[in-house]
Structure 1
Amino acid sequence: MNNLTSTIISEFNNNHFKEIYALADSSFKANVAESDILSLLNSAATLGKIKKYELAIAEDGNHTYRLYFDNKSLFLDISLAFDSTSFSRFGLRPYKLPPVLGRTDFLHENPIKTNLDSTIQKAAKDYMENKNVAGLSIGVFTNNEMYIYNFGETQKGNGTLPTENTIYEIGSVTKVFTGILLANAVVEGKVKLDDDIRKYLPGIYPNLEYQGRPVTLVQLSNHTSGLPFTVKLPDTKEDAFSPFVNFNDDMLFKILNSVKLDTVPGVQKNYSNLGTAILGQILAKIYGQSYEQLLTTYILKPYGMKQTKIILSKKEKRKMSTGYDMEGKETKYWYNKLAESAGGIHSTVSDMLLFVKKQMSDVDNATNFSHQPTFGDKQEGVGLNWDIYTTKKGYLRLAHDGGTDGF
């Protein structure tokens, strides 16, 4: 273990993030802004203190360490500079356990009669080879037809194949629903995209601007607000998105007062769970309804999505697939009120196909509006929470992925 790494770990655990940046060599500092590293470290700090760390890979001055937090791990990638007392490369990324391969047989009902069947079967086989996963549902919408494929089990060892009605956590795919709700508020004339968010928040927040430029609604949706990825509660230092947090309006006030912007809003994209979470809170206040009520009124009922919910009943929880983390350990049902609009939706493959169909055909004004670039352009940009990209063959792609601890 080199002294530089030990110093970085110590400084991190003492929240001395500027001191970590100071350990970079001149070439690193010339290419990477201090604010970028501080943002990265602040996001990692929401996981708590580093409990222990171990060297995973060492090659020619390049080192990768596994950092252990309370419930998660991260990879730290660093390259030592010539003098070995500074670094020329620094990065943090999610820890991914190598898949435990070996499963060759798993439940499915795929008839494997068409090219689509064969393509799906190959993709599912590659995924299901990992013994740490339990099951998989795949939905395809093409030529105005829906196809559903299910594989594995709803819980390891129970012998029950998932169905079109099995419920999953969809994580950050929730954000595109929030983008459509914002688009609807614009279409209805309740807000403008470039409205200062403080117009809709109780209290005074001089910190929610930088060099006279305020954070706006659209910036919460396209991730250019300058807000951090996530945040700790000022009082308890607990992750605000933890399922153990009983969120309330007073917490929102304290969180918003604790935020410090270090860049002009609207200039740079930095993915922010906090931004979309605040957007959901604002939309709920504007309409005088809960976020789930807005979802139901403007998306779920019009789309016919009868099995999609934020909060599940006991009966609905019994229809949920069991989640497993990357090490194959079972995870628990997850809920956090602040995170509802950023990653709180539960849904089924059949309902999500209805959602996809609506995006591709019979598009209403709000849905179409959410697909338009608000940062960048159609070659590569962001709509209202939609990632936008034009392929080399000229196809327009709208996308968003998502995941939780178990899904």
Structure 2
Amino acid sequence: MKNQIICLLLVIFSISCKNTTDTNENQGIQNMEKDTVTISMDTNAAAFLEDSTVTAISIGVYKNGKSYTGHYGELDRQKGNPPTDSTFYEIASVTKTFTGTLVAQAILDGKLSLEDDIRKYLDGDYNNLQYDGHPILIKHVLTHTARLPSNNKGIDELFKNEADSLAFKFNEIEKNYNKEKYFSHLQEITLDTLPGTKYNYSNVGANLMGHILEVVYKKSFTQLLDQFILKKSGMNTSKMILTEEESNRLANGYNNDGDLMPHLPVSNTLWGAEGGLKSTMPDMIKYMQFQMDSTNAVAQESHKKIHKENATEWIGYFWRVEQDEDGIYYHHHGGAFGANTYFFIYPHYNLGIVASTNCSGRIASANLKSAVDGLLDDLKPFGKKSISRAITTLCFEDIDKGITYYHQLKKEKPEGYNFEKEGELNSLGYALLRKGEVKAAIKIFTLLVAEFPEAFNPYDSLGEGYFEDKNYQMSLLNYEKSLALNPENDNAKMMIDKIKNNKEK
């Protein structure tokens, strides 16, 4: 009996030791993961803030079921006021993914069909919303192929002359816009091609979906957001219209010259379905959880591929859907006059990344995307690493050595780095261009063209490089090559006209 008791105590002690060891090991793994995420956020935020035109960045990461946030810099220059978990950002067009998710809810509820003619939900005569007998369908609006205008009446004309006052003129139109003006504009539209065939990003279309949702549910768009997304996901700090106290926590927005920009008035005048939401980092992580829940039928429906852009890119319910060698991922960018947000979810990596800054403009947007790419490269559990990040430091020190290293890695480690994605070298080229390293950028774009000779965008980028170098003959040559490969490249058309007009002058 005594021996049995001793054996039993030894077994209990052994189990206890094992549990203690397992707990310590699990805690160690969790701490290691936390350190990895924190280091990556710190590193990529520091690189982002090297750009003197920006002052702040907030990052949210959802990895293996755990949430992480990081806030860096200061929201207002020399004010010493860093962003926090309670800071509201304008997430702008990321709002469209919420609208798309509500449409997915309506599809599952039997309220809508992707094949519905949108005129079914409009009062009055809208015979203009068809082309050669083919009407605009719900699926066309969701995928920006309805051929609706990009913006409300009067806005697109402003962008033809991007003066310093553009943001204020934009806001003047928007804050005086109402639903009567919106529907009047809708009756004036003339379609130029068959719906569903040609992409044209449309805020008008996103707001139209807001209206249609209100018609089928007989509730306001804001009520639908609360009912089907915000409350279900526990998002308590995501709103269309903020209280006075919350408005004090809304990040001031600046352009790349450091000028204070006005906030978007879109949620005050129309539905806000195109870009009216304001949110915080903790709430955006909750939205990641909502979208990455494999048991959430509505989220899964919203991710379905509706329109194919090319071999690896589709559009879902306003979601951008892409596929790489590791799996399918979903994303959207939101940009306002004083804000930029990138939102990505990678179900195959069990990873979500969101990053926001209170600065607008192409430079801030490109650098913010680079920060997201850096986070992905650091945190994904498997797959090829970024070749751009691998050679960036060397390219900035000595471009010829950087390119030599590129070829060395491609020869020695072809499976270790992503050599198949043209965006890798393209982003590096533009990083060099933004830093004033024009000659180095041209060399990277030349390498890009050599690596992807049948793609139109590398020639477009090389054309821009030569344009910045004032070598207009070579710039024109490359823009023309880009246009030949893609006759719908509007940027190439614009730049060709610009160069030819300058020559005539």
Using the size of structure 1 for normalisation, the TM-score is 0.68
SS in 2 for 1:207: coil
Q: Equivalent pairs: percent with the same residue?
A: 35
SS in 2 for 1:114: helix
Whole-angstrom distance in 1 between the partners of 2:170 and 2:181? 9
The corresponding residue for 2:316 is: 383
SS in 2 for 1:340: coil
Amino acid at match of 1:386: W
Whole-angstrom distance in 1 between the partners of 2:175 and 2:295? 37
2:128 to 188, 204, 207: 207
Assess if the C-alpha contact under 8 Å between 1:225 and 1:265 holds in 2.
yes
SS in 2 for 1:401: strand
The corresponding residue for 2:86 is: 165
Assess if the C-alpha contact under 8 Å between 2:263 and 2:337 holds in 1.
no
Whole-angstrom distance in 2 between the partners of 1:333 and 1:359? 27
Amino acid at match of 2:227: T
2:287 to 348, 351, 355: 355
Amino acid at match of 2:91: I
Q: CA deviation at 1:398?
A: 0.5
CA 1:244–1:272 in 2, change beyond 3 Å: closer, same or farther?
A: closer
Q: CA deviation at 1:362?
A: 4.7
Unmatched 5+ stretches in structure 1: 1-110
1:372 to 290, 304, 309: 304
Whole-angstrom distance in 2 between the partners of 1:184 and 1:402? 22
Amino acid at match of 2:320: D
2:329 to 393, 397, 406: 397
2:276 to 335, 344, 351: 344
CA 1:192–1:113 in 2, change beyond 3 Å: closer, same or farther?
A: closer
Amino acid at match of 1:198: R
SS in 2 for 1:343: coil
CA 1:197–1:113 in 2, change beyond 3 Å: closer, same or farther?
A: closer
Using the size of structure 2 for normalisation, the TM-score is 0.55
Instruction: Give runs of ≥4 in structure 1 deviating > 6 Å.
Output: 236-241
The corresponding residue for 1:406 is: 338
Whole-angstrom distance in 1 between the partners of 2:173 and 2:154? 13
Deviations 1:272-303 (A, max 9, x none): 11111111122123222221111111100001
Within the alignment, does 1:285 sit opposite 2:206 as a pair?
no
Assess if the C-alpha contact under 8 Å between 2:306 and 2:315 holds in 1.
yes
Point out the more displaced range, 153-162 or 315-324. Answer: 153-162
SS in 1 for 2:336: coil
Whole-angstrom distance in 2 between the partners of 1:299 and 1:255? 30
Q: CA deviation at 1:164?
A: 1.2
Q: CA deviation at 1:269?
A: 1.9
Whole-angstrom distance in 1 between the partners of 2:238 and 2:172? 22
Assess if the C-alpha contact under 8 Å between 1:176 and 1:400 holds in 2.
yes
Amino acid at match of 1:372: K
Q: CA deviation at 1:136?
A: 1.1
Within the alignment, does 1:139 sit opposite 2:70 as a pair?
no
Q: What does 1:306-317 align with in structure 2 at a 5 Å threshold?
A: 306-317=236-247
The corresponding residue for 1:99 is: none
Whole-angstrom distance in 2 between the partners of 1:301 and 1:321? 24
Unmatched 5+ stretches in structure 2: 1-31, 159-167, 340-505
Point out the more displaced range, 147-156 or 237-246. Answer: 237-246
Whole-angstrom distance in 1 between the partners of 2:174 and 2:93? 19
Assess if the C-alpha contact under 8 Å between 1:154 and 1:320 holds in 2.
no
1:260 to 190, 194, 217: 190
C-alpha RMSD of the superposition: 2.4
SS in 1 for 2:330: strand
Assess if the C-alpha contact under 8 Å between 1:380 and 1:389 holds in 2.
yes
Q: What does 1:30-45 align with in structure 2 at a 5 Å threshold?
A: none
Amino acid at match of 1:313: T
Point out the more displaced range, 242-251 or 149-158. Answer: 242-251
SS in 1 for 2:72: strand
Point out the more displaced range, 343-352 or 357-366. Answer: 357-366
The corresponding residue for 2:180 is: 250
The corresponding residue for 2:164 is: none
Assess if the C-alpha contact under 8 Å between 2:97 and 2:317 holds in 1.
yes
SS in 2 for 1:199: helix
Within the alignment, does 1:319 sit opposite 2:249 as a pair?
yes
Assess if the C-alpha contact under 8 Å between 2:175 and 2:265 holds in 1.
no
Deviations 1:78-119 (A, max 9, x none): xxxxxxxxxxxxxxxxxxxxxxxxxxxxxxxxx998233222
Q: CA deviation at 1:224?
A: 0.9
Whole-angstrom distance in 2 between the partners of 1:334 and 1:125? 28
Amino acid at match of 2:54: V
Deviations 1:190-247 (A, max 9, x none): 111111111101111111000111011121111110112123159x999887564333
SS in 1 for 2:180: helix
Whole-angstrom distance in 2 between the partners of 1:366 and 1:218? 16
1:330 to 252, 256, 260: 260
- Write 1 or 2 for the structure with the bigger share of helix: 2
Q: CA deviation at 1:137?
A: 0.7
Whole-angstrom distance in 1 between the partners of 2:300 and 2:34? 36
CA 1:187–1:165 in 2, change beyond 3 Å: closer, same or farther?
A: same
The corresponding residue for 1:18 is: none
Within the alignment, does 1:155 sit opposite 2:61 as a pair?
no
The corresponding residue for 1:87 is: none
CA 1:190–1:241 in 2, change beyond 3 Å: closer, same or farther?
A: farther
Amino acid at match of 2:260: E
CA 1:119–1:230 in 2, change beyond 3 Å: closer, same or farther?
A: same
The corresponding residue for 2:147 is: 226
The number of residues matched between the two structures is 295
Amino acid at match of 2:176: N
CA 1:339–1:131 in 2, change beyond 3 Å: closer, same or farther?
A: farther
Whole-angstrom distance in 1 between the partners of 2:115 and 2:256? 40
Whole-angstrom distance in 2 between the partners of 1:147 and 1:184? 29
Q: CA deviation at 1:138?
A: 0.0
Assess if the C-alpha contact under 8 Å between 1:128 and 1:135 holds in 2.
yes
Assess if the C-alpha contact under 8 Å between 1:233 and 1:255 holds in 2.
no
SS in 2 for 1:180: helix
Deviations 1:3-60 (A, max 9, x none): xxxxxxxxxxxxxxxxxxxxxxxxxxxxxxxxxxxxxxxxxxxxxxxxxxxxxxxxxx
